């Protein structure tokens, strides 16, 4: 059975419910800021997190709670990151206890996450006052949860797919947020995935850790890494497939579905980057090895000058070559070809490391689209990699100039 996109987000797999409410952390009463995702049963759970030395308290508590590889709920607030606070661990632990008191799920089986302003203390009382409302409203409300975890995101990000494992119909669903402070090294901002596949915690962790290398770790909005990056997946086994406890065809089917979801979310996150008007994809082929291709793709997608050129629809390919040159990997610059492409066509701009003649009018037309691909051929091997990002606009500075106030 081929992958089939379905509706439902994190509620698409069997046995999952979700909700999101406004509890008052955010001043805007029209914005939901408190989310909850619950499985009917304890689920194998895996996570990847920020490698920033400055870590939000929820990251620390979540990693501790997942030492046994299981969880049953995910709770998250937006508007405050609960980071760099002397009582942060206590607040994160008490947030987990709210779930225990409301629904009887052990606080040790809770993934806790926060997102928003760093360095401001998080008051527990708004969440404590609304945990009953949040719990009682659990249902097929993935969109409410997706909205509640947003900060400067302008659109909700959700995906779900149906697939088969050993002839059994299964599903993966996901929601995500994060359009600023995005250049991760293990996860990006907040991503919550659910699945009804039966899989061991060990194999689930193996799958997620491998997947992020080619999805979320290949994303950059602004080159800044968050303190609260968390990507977690719960798999409760309610689909009824034979337990995946080793690599094989069933494991590959699961990984394929997982990657479909993570790559789609990565593109959504990139396209909604703070102030962004364009999704930029950098596709590198012909590398001597995978690490080379990945480093080049990431270097180009992170370049502020490349991002600014894409905003201005300027085919300034020299900036692409420049970013390749400082990627920190060995590349034969005299073998590099570069082209720009979009729905309007493909335009070659560089051959063998040197510029070639092209029409500025055609270049402008191609680069004026809202989804652009920078195609790079290193002509040195068969390895390839893709990275995703966005253009750099005036609005990015405006958004972050007064983010806190």
Active site residues: 188
Inter-residue contact 372 to 278 (CB < 8 Å)? yes
Give strand pairing partners of 110.
73
Under 8 Å CB-to-CB from 399, ≥6 apart: which residues? 152, 180, 274, 275
- 355-382 as b/e: b if 16+ CB within 10 A: eeebeeeebeebbebeebbbbbbbbbee
Inter-residue contact 257 to 3 (CB < 8 Å)? yes
> Computed over its alpha carbons, how large is the radius of gyration of the chain?
22
Place of tokens 């659109």: 155
Q: Between the CA atoms of 197, 199, 205 and 210, what dihedral angle is there, to the nearest 10 degrees?
A: -70
Inter-residue contact 24 to 124 (CB < 8 Å)? no
CA distance 4 to 193: 17
- Report residue 61 CA to chain centroid gap: 20
CA distance 231 to 190: 6
Collapsed DSSP state (helix, strand, coil) of residue 44? strand
Alpha helix positions (H), 104-141:
125-136
CA distance 226 to 74: 19
Give strand pairing partners of 43.
71
Can you give the length of the chain in residues? 405
CA distance 41 to 67: 18
Select from 165, 231, 159 the least CA-distant residue to 196: 165
**DSSP strands (E only) in 274-330:** 279-287
Q: Determine the straight-line distance between the first and last CA of the chain, rounded to whole angstroms.
A: 51
| Torsions phi, psi for 91 (to 5 deg) | -65, -40
């Amino acid at each position: 059975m081929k992958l089939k996109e379905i509706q439902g987000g994190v509620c698409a797999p069997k046995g999952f419910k979700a909700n999101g409410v406004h509890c008052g952390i955010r001043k805007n009463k029209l914005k939901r800021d408190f989310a909850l995702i619950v499985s009917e049963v304890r689920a194998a759970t895996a996570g990847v997190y920020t490698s920033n030395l400055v870590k939000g308290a929820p990251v620390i508590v979540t990693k501790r709670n997942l030492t046994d590889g299981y969880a049953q709920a995910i709770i998250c607030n937006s508007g405050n990151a609960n980071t760099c606070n002397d009582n942060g661990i206590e607040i994160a632990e008490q947030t987990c206890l709210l779930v225990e008191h409301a629904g009887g799920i052990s606080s040790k089986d809770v993934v806790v996450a926060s997102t928003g302003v760093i360095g401001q203390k998080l008051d527990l009382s708004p969440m404590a006052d609304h945990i009953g409302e949040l719990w009682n409203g659990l249902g097929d409300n993935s969109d409410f949860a997706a909205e509640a975890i947003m900060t400067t995101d302008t659109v909700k990000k959700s995906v779900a797919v149906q697939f088969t494992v050993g002839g059994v119909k299964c599903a993966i669903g996901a929601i995500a947020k994060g359009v600023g402070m995005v250049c991760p090294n293990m996860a990006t901002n907040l991503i919550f995935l659910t699945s009804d596949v039966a899989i061991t915690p060990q194999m689930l962790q193996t799958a997620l850790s491998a997947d992020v290398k080619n999805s979320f770790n290949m994303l950059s909005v602004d080159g800044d890494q968050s303190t609260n990056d968390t990507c977690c997946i719960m798999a409760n086994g309610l689909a009824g497939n034979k337990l995946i406890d080793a690599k094989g065809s069933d494991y590959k089917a699961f990984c394929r579905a997982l990657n479909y979801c993570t790559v789609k979310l990565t593109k959504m996150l990139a396209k909604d980057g703070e102030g962004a008007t364009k999704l930029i994809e950098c596709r590198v082929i012909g590398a001597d090895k995978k690490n080379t291709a990945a480093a080049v793709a990431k270097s180009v997608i992170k370049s502020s000058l490349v991002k600014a050129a894409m905003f201005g629809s300027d085919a300034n390919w020299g900036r692409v070559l420049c970013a390749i040159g400082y990627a920190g990997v060995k590349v034969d610059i005299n073998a590099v070809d570069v082209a720009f492409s979009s729905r309007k066509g493909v335009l070659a701009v560089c051959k063998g490391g040197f510029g070639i003649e092209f029409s500025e009018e055609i270049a402008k037309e191609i680069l004026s689209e809202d989804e652009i691909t920078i195609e790079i051929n290193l002509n040195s091997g068969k390895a390839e990699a893709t990275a995703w990002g966005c253009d750099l606009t005036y609005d990015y500075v405006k958004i972050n100039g007064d983010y806190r106030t």
